Structure 1
Amino acid sequence: MTSILVLNGPNLNLLGSRQPEVYGATTLADIEKMCADWADANGCTISFAQSNHEGALIDHIHAARGVSDGIVLNAGAYTHTSVALMDAIASVDLPAIELHLSNVHAREDFRHVSYIAKVSIGIICGFGARGYIMALDAMQAHVKD
């Protein structure tokens, strides 16, 4: 059975109330429920984690080694700044998908840079909460190939 870590970074705990015009009205709990329902329907196990702290995210990535088959990572603003997260993903030898609720390429220039993309099998952005299901479908297909 495929096991996927869905890892969310800074400020994603505020989904639903933080800039709904950019990120939508769906809460992180709603997204986790949606993902859990997807997992039940697709014979997959999912673990969830969220932290506003870079080191805690790195700890979750390290802990996924030997436990999870892949990582779906919405690193939030750390996407554009964290060499440490990039190195952590590269170090665990697990496929990772970079995920964003908004289309980062239609936003400020600094959001066009991604350290996570350099070590990811793909990027999904701009589809709101549905992007999580897209990422899970893509990860499950990748792991099965």
Structure 2
Amino acid sequence: MARSIDYGTLMHRAMRGLIQTVLRDVADNGLPGAHHFFITFDTTHPGVAIADWLKARYPSEMTVVIQHWYENLNVDDDGFSITLNFGNQPEPLVIPFDAVRTFVDPSVEFGLRFESHEDDGEDEDEDDGDDDPDPPREAEVVRLDKFRK
């Protein structure tokens, strides 16, 4: 088999690393200026931990906002945990970086979207005997118009 450079996986790792670096800085120093984040994640991904009532309300995907009120932001190599306020009810969340689908900071018009290879249906030569629970995702910069109301 010919060796090739897997740019999609490399980009995926780099963009996850960017999110990790940003969130670590916010955990250490707080949100600077007008910065705030919209983070959409796959609620079915292994390692996601959210309250049962949130899981029932968001069975496949959820978007959280990190802006005015948050507590206990902790970041490690695999993901982050945070307590957010849902209708005056603080709820802890654990979100692996591999569960993140979009990361947007509208204050500076920056956004990333991660797409799963399994969504595009183009991996026809994939080895069916290897059941990878976390298929690589591709990263791309997204237009913020998608998130404006």
TM-score by length of 1: 0.28
More strand by share: 2
Q: If each structure's helix is expressed as a fraction of its own residues, which one has the higher value?
A: 1
Larger radius of gyration: 2
What's the TM-score once normalised by structure 2's chain length?
A: 0.27
